[in-house]
Amino acid sequence: MGPARIRAIIYEVLMKVDEKLVRRIARLARIKVSDSDVQHLEGELSSILGFVDLLSEVDTDNIEPMTSAVDREMFERKDVVTDGGYPDDIVKNAPERDDHYFMVPKVVE
């Protein structure tokens, strides 16, 4: 999907930021939004999406993906399963334990 298509999708979304969309986003985010805040949030969301639209204009064709701003080699270790070597220390603060296992209350009937 090219930048032009992304820009077109964002523009479509920008045109659809209305009360219904604001309330849906608030519900999905589990945020209580009062009736008086809805109109303000329509503008805020439009501004945010407008900024994202500006970012789609940046030419990133010759930019390699990176995981850090500092170019460094990642430390790798062998993927070996171990018990940590100190199972008694791991469970010593558990309220209840059986050998080296945590005991928890039954939560499913």
Mean pLDDT by 10 residues, the chain (109 residues): 66 72 90 92 85 82 82 83 81 88 87
Query: What's this model's pTM, rounded to 2 decimal places?
Result: 0.45
- Sign, CA dihedral 19-20-24-30, equals positive
What pLDDT, on the 0 to 100 scale, is given for residue 31?
93
The predicted structure's pLDDT at residue 1: 59
| Helix or strand run (H / E) with residue 97 | strand 97-98
Q: How far is CA 66 from CA 3, 71, 73, in A?
A: 20, 8, 12
